[in-house]
Amino acid sequence: MDSAPGIISSVVHAFKTHGLPVPTADDLRRFVGPPIGESFARNGFAPADVPEAIRTYRAHFVPHGMWTNSVFAGIPEVLGVLQASGRRLAVATSKPQVYARQLTERFGLDPFLEGVFGATLEEAVAGAPADGPVRASKADVIGYALAELGVDPATAGATTVMVGDRSHDVVGAAEHGIDTIGVTWGYADEGELERAGASAVSSSPEELLSLLAPTLVPSPPPSPRP
- Per-domain residue ranges of the chain: 4-67, 75-216
CA-CA-CA-CA torsion sign (158, 190, 203, 136): positive
Q: How confident is the model at residue 214 (pLDDT cuts 50, 70, 90)?
A: confident
The H-or-E segment that residue 200 falls in is strand 200-202
CATH-assigned architecture of domain 4-67 = Orthogonal Bundle (1.10)
Give CA–CA dist 220/226, Å, rounded: 17
Give CA–CA dist 60/75, Å, rounded: 27
pTM, two decimals, is 0.82
Report whether pLDDT(186) > 60.
Answer: yes
Q: How confident is the model at residue 226 (pLDDT cuts 50, 70, 90)?
A: low
Mean of the per-residue pLDDT values of the chain:
90
Edge-first strand listing for the sheet containing 179-183 = 161-164, 179-183, 200-202
Report whether pLDDT(26) > 50.
Answer: yes
Report whether pLDDT(197) > 80.
Answer: yes
Give CA–CA dist 46/87, Å, rounded: 44
Least confident interval from 3-17, 165-179, 210-224: 210-224
Each residue of 119-175: pLDDT tens digit? 987 633 434 444 456 788 899 999 999 999 999 999 999 999 999 999 999 999 999
The whole-number pLDDT of residue 31 equals 93
Report, as an integer, the average pLDDT of 194-216: 94
Contact 188, 31 (CB under 8 A): no
Domains 4-67 and 75-216 share a fold: no
Regarding the domain with residue range 75-216, which homologous superfamily does it belong to in the CATH classification? HAD superfamily/HAD-like (3.40.50.1000)
